[in-house]
Amino acid sequence: FDLELHMVHESDKGEISVVAILYRYGQHDDFLAK
């Protein structure tokens, strides 16, 4: 993949959650366009 986005959230208790999104160049993505 050409690009990898990681979104990290830490709760008030210190618990961590990570979401990864993989991208390829050339395809329009509404999420990135915002």
Which range marks the domain in which residue 12 is found?
3-33
pLDDT at 31 (0 to 100): 78
How far apart, in whole angstroms, are the C-alpha atoms of residue 31 and residue 34?
6
Total count of domains within the chain: 1
Cβ atoms of 16 and 10 within 8 Å: the answer is yes
How far apart, in whole angstroms, are the C-alpha atoms of residue 28 and residue 8?
23
Global confidence as pTM: 0.58
Residue in the block written with tokens 């999104």? 21
Q: How many helices (H) and strands (E) does the chain have?
A: 1, 2
Over residues 10-31, the pLDDT tens digits come to: 999 999 999 999 988 887 878 7
In this prediction, residue 33 has a pLDDT band, given cuts at 50, 70 and 90, of confident
